[in-house]
A and B are shown apart, each in its own frame.
Chain A
Amino acid sequence: AQSVTQLDSQVPVFEEAPVELRCNYSSSVSVYLFWYVQYPNQGLQLLLKYLSGSTLVESINGFEAEFNKSQTSFHLRKPSVHISDTAEYFCAVSDRYGGSQGNLIFGKGTKLSVKP
């Protein structure tokens, strides 16, 4: 069975500092990987995804994540965070070959708190 572990439940950082949110997954098959973001009092929005090809994927607001198959990781990074990045971030995995009609398995989330 697939599972996702987000190693940090909370990450406080100062504005303009770099940040890394860690995500590890376990799966016996090839996977698709996602990062979702949830701003306060809102639903989840897709931040970025890895489907195939280049192992480094980027979002439009400066986040990037790297798929590392040997370490089964998909860590999210940003070189310089803004106050507006304060949100909860969820890593998710799905079975590449269909499985359960496109179900995603979510991690428990990491709350990023950016302080001035």
Chain B
Amino acid sequence: DVKVTQSSRYLVKRTGEKVFLECVQDMDHENMFWYRQDPGLGLRLIYFSYDVKMKEKGDIPEGYSVSREKKERFSLILESASTNQTSMYLCASSSTGFSYNEQFFGPGTRLTVL
């Protein structure tokens, strides 16, 4: 089974802190994604990557950056956390093969910024 793991289930940070959210997948997938999930807004794409060292902005990249140094790992970085970044963050991965764009999700990280 595909496994996508995220470094923390719950995280509490203070305004202005630099925050790293880590995601690792074990299925050799080419594509990786970061979403944030907020009540009533569904999932919104922050950034995605389709190869090592490659990244593309999603719908809401402001205030975030990403890093993909290895194929299996995709990190989301909040350079200076703000209270409006309090949210559930979901990582996903998919293959560029014949999986027809099916994405596999991690359990999520619920981030609270105080």
Interface residues of A (CB under 8 A from B): 9, 32, 34, 36, 41-46, 49, 51, 90, 94, 100-104, 106-109
B101 and A32: CB pair below 8 A?
yes
- Chain A min CB distance to B22 (Å): 15
Interface residues of B (CB under 8 A from A): 4, 31, 33, 40-43, 45, 48, 50, 56, 90, 92, 94, 96, 100-108
A108 and B42: CB pair below 8 A?
yes
A41-B108, A42-B108 known; 9 new pairs, CB 8 Å cut-off, are A46-B104, A49-B100, A51-B100, A100-B56, A101-B31, A102-B96, A103-B33, A104-B103, A108-B42
Cα of A45 to Cα of B2 in the assembled complex, Å: 11
In chain A, what residue has the closest Cβ to B10? Answer: A41
Q: Interface centre among A34, A42, A44, A107, by most B CB within 10 Å?
A: A44
Q: Interface centre among A34, A45, A101, by most B CB within 10 Å?
A: A101
